[in-house]
Amino acid sequence: MNEMLHEVTLTVNGVRRTASVPARRLLSDFLRHDLTLTGTHVGCEHGVCGACTVLVGDEPVRSCLMFAVSAQGLEVTTVEGLGLRPDARDCATGQSMNPVQQAFTECHGLQCGFCTPGLLTTVTAYLDDHLDPTSDEAREAISGNLCRCTGYQNIVKSVLRAAEIKAERRAPDAAEPGEPHPGPVAAEGVPS
């Protein structure tokens, strides 16, 4: 079929990326298929499950409910980019993790990992605005993300732990080991 193609350029995880795609290409598929950033997962494709959540600017949005053409010129952060953020540190695995990723590993906030990219982006944005959530608030914050495995208990714990790690890393004399990550290089995958 001869569909008209649009040249779409956006900044993904600090890197300018361009691809020619039909107008109907969802941002989720643009990231996964055209840019091969398969960290963003697709569950329901109608906004309900939250697996596809990415940050546009600083805000979480459903990448399955946005066309790539509409994202022209915008800055997008996917789960692959969280380890490049200023509060990310090199961790025991040798990978760079932001506080939320670190907390999910410490608290077993995932099992199969399908929901995890959406939770990590959602919680990352949430903690930028809410420094010290209660566990009720943490529950509310993740209420738009479905997880079929964990029963959510460890995800709630992870949110609370992430807030602590974030506070530790913010403190100027933080005893936290590891160096701040130097910034965007190439997009890396999350540990799987």
Partner 1 sequence: MKPAPFEYHAPRSVEEAVAVLAEVGHDGKVLAGGQSLIPILNMRLASPGHLIDINHVTGLDDIEITSDSVRVGALVRHSGLERSDSTHAALPLLRQAVVNVAHPAIRNRGTTVGSIAHADAAGEMPAVLALCDGTVEVVGPHGIREVGWQHFFLGALETVLAPDELAVATRFNRMPPGTGTAFAESARRSGDYALAGVAVRVTVSDGVVSAAAASFVSVTDVPSVLDLTPALGGRELADAGFGSALDQAAEAVREHVAPETDIHASADYRRMLVAELTRRALPIAISRSNAAFVHESAVATVSSRTNAAFEGLGGGRR
Ligand X SMILES: Cc1cc2nc3c(=O)[nH]c(=O)nc-3n(C[C@H](O)[C@H](O)[C@H](O)COP(=O)(O)OP(=O)(O)OC[C@H]3O[C@@H](n4cnc5c(N)ncnc54)[C@H](O)[C@@H]3O)c2cc1C
Interface with ligand X (CB under 6 A) = 47-48
In angstroms, what is the minimal distance from the CB of 51 to ligand FES? Answer: 5
Instruction: Restricting to residues 34-53, name those near ligand FES by CB under 6 A.
Output: 42-45, 47-52
AA identity, residue 165: I
The answer to whether residues 21 and 6 touch, using CB atoms and an 8 Å cutoff, is: yes
5 contributes a contact to partner 1 by CB under 8 A: no
Q: Facing residues of 97 across strands?
A: 89
CA distance 32 to 79: 12
- The one of ligand FES, ligand X, partner 1, none whose footprint includes residue 26, by CB under 5 to 8 A per kind, is partner 1
In angstroms, what is the minimal distance from the CB of 116 to ligand FES? Answer: 6
Instruction: Restricting to residues 65-94, name those near ligand FES by CB under 6 A.
Output: none
Among candidate residues 89, 105, 106, 98, the one with its CA nearest the CA of residue 122: 98
Binds partner 1 (CB under 8 A): choice among 18, 70, 134, 135: 70
Among candidate residues 20, 81, 94, 29, the one with its CA nearest the CA of residue 55: 81
Residue listed under structure tokens 């290409």: 25
In angstroms, what is the minimal distance from the CB of 18 to partner 1? Answer: 17
How many CB atoms are closer than 10 A to CB 166?
20
Residue 172 CB partners (closer than 8 Å, separation 6+): none
* Residue 3 token pair: 């569909």
Binding residues for partner 1, rule: CB under 8 A, are 1, 3-4, 6, 22-24, 26, 29, 45-47, 50, 53, 56, 59-62, 64-67, 69-70, 122, 126, 140, 143-144
Binding residues for ligand FES, rule: CB under 6 A, are 42-45, 47-52, 62, 64, 110-115, 147-150
